[in-house]
Structure 1
């Protein structure tokens, strides 16, 4: 690690203690994250936003600040398993961009825990049930408006001018703006999302979206890399709520299975229903679930270009996200 970066990290954590070691953590595709060990033996996590914004999608502006807002919002809810926010710095004095310093969680990411498939490994089955229960608890946190947390909750209108538009007094209004933002991004990078078809199905299913009247806190990115588990599979921590939004709770189930086409996993549903009922059968719920798959597949398909995903991974990502987009549009038309 370059000495100048180590010095800057030391200044960032100085209000908390003296840096003795810093290790860059890999696995994420957006921010830069370091695990810092302090002189007293404690560990913290320092997360910094991308230093260039030209390759960001509209909704990705100021996401690290959104993470800080979520941590602050749930600070009195230990049952929501998120780390304590220790410091937030948007001055750019020590590191460029927004910086979050949070406590280091115990456990290991589910993706690194060595568990087998859910159907074969009781540890993975427990993690899936615990995730369902966590989702139900998280959705007891409600807001006043719909949209991305950074757009709704940023104090004094400080949100990024582009990202600040991604909210609304109703869910159809907010979701419509979110979809239009992705269509705009697709136009910037020459990605064909079939915008006429997307707008048509969105208008056709307005009434299903209007059934959602209470904004709940949706994490939006509950993939195994953001879930910390114990050796027995118990869910012990949840990180990276940078993409959080006030939305329909069904949107969470898509964020937890971003390339999926099938129904919600039985274990996840069972864990959720131990805490609260989950409507997946009504016609409105089925339509909204598909609309959120459409939105997610559109994001995945567009981000391939500005992030320059390459090689076999890039080929798979573009092909799979494009197929999912087409499949979802067809399903919404049927």
Structure 2
């Protein structure tokens, strides 16, 4: 019997009857379990299940949809099984409204109480009161030692110029932190849950930039989300560079053209 499934069932006080893998867990094992008493749940491991549990609770507290946390330990996170199976093509309005609620939850600085990770790639979340410094030190320069020298020099040069490119103190919005279509559950025309977060407080445009990296939110999403800040298009490639660098480190040279393209868009 799958060990993670057994741990998950025990955490919510049930006898495991059935387990199946859930598609899409690139960096964590994700399972759907059924218990003898008829309950069902999602169980996953990951870099820090209890940290992820806190993130999901904070998202839910903002009014944005997220699966309820049923239990968490150092080994496993057990979550509510949400309705899914829909596509974002019918749920853009719902997503725009959900993100507006999420981003309306403001912090007092930029960062998160603890560090996190995408698999083996660390996410450093030390608090700062200066947004360009946070983005430079905690999102871009942390990759320099892991990049080819030519790329590293370009990223370092971009980071040095961020005080002239990013607002010094934007509202520190609550961010999902890894917002793409695979981390958004939809049922019909509504978003049922934002999952697999990597939360921190930062400029709201970060989530929007990440969303547009792999998906194509259109006018309906934009209208539901609300007005954007002036010149936001100029900042999108700066914010997209971080997830591109993460993908390069996680999945290899196939993502180097994306990194090169985004760096070119930043002018670096």
TM range (shorter): 0.7 to 0.9
> How far did residue 264 of structure 1 move?
5.7
Q: After TM superposition, give the deviation of residue 15 of structure 1 in Å.
A: 4.2
How far apart, in 2, do the equivalents of 1:204 and 1:255 lie? 21
Q: Deviations over 1:291-321 (max 9, x none)?
A: 112222222222223xxxxxxxxxxxx44x3
Q: 1:194 to 1:255 in 2, by over 3 A?
A: same
Cα drift, residue 136 of structure 1: 0.9
1:70 & 1:165 partners in 2: Cα distance? 13
Provide structure 1 residue ranges, at least 5 long, that are not aligned to the other structure.
50-61, 91-97, 112-123, 153-159, 306-317
Task: Say whether the 8 Å CA contact 1:251–1:292 is kept in structure 2.
Answer: yes
Distance 1:254 1:48, change over 3 A: same
For the aligned residue pairs, the C-alpha RMSD in angstroms reads 2.7
What is the CA deviation profile of residues 97-134 of structure 1, one whole-angstrom value per residue up to 9, with x for unaligned ones?
x32111111122537xxxxxxxxxxxx2x312221121
Task: Establish whether residue 268 from structure 1 lines up as the match of residue 221 from structure 2.
Answer: yes
Distance verdict in 2 for CA 1:167–1:135, change over 3 Å = same
Counterpart Cα distance in 2 of 1:325 and 1:164? 20
Q: Tell me how far 1:165 sits from its aligned partner.
A: 5.6
TM-score (norm 2): 0.85
Counterpart of 1:9 (choices 5, 8, 14) is 5
2:101 to 137, 151, 162: 137
1:82 aligns with 2:63: no
Larger radius of gyration: 1
Question: Secondary structure of the equivalent of 1:13?
Answer: helix
Q: Which residue of 1 aligns with 2:208?
A: 253
The whole-number CA distance in structure 2 between the counterparts of 1:163 and 1:27 is: 21
Aligned partner of 2:130 in structure 1 is 170
Q: 5+ unaligned residues in a row in structure 2: which ranges? A: none
- 2-side partners of 1:127 and 1:211: how far apart? 33
Partner of 1:68: 53
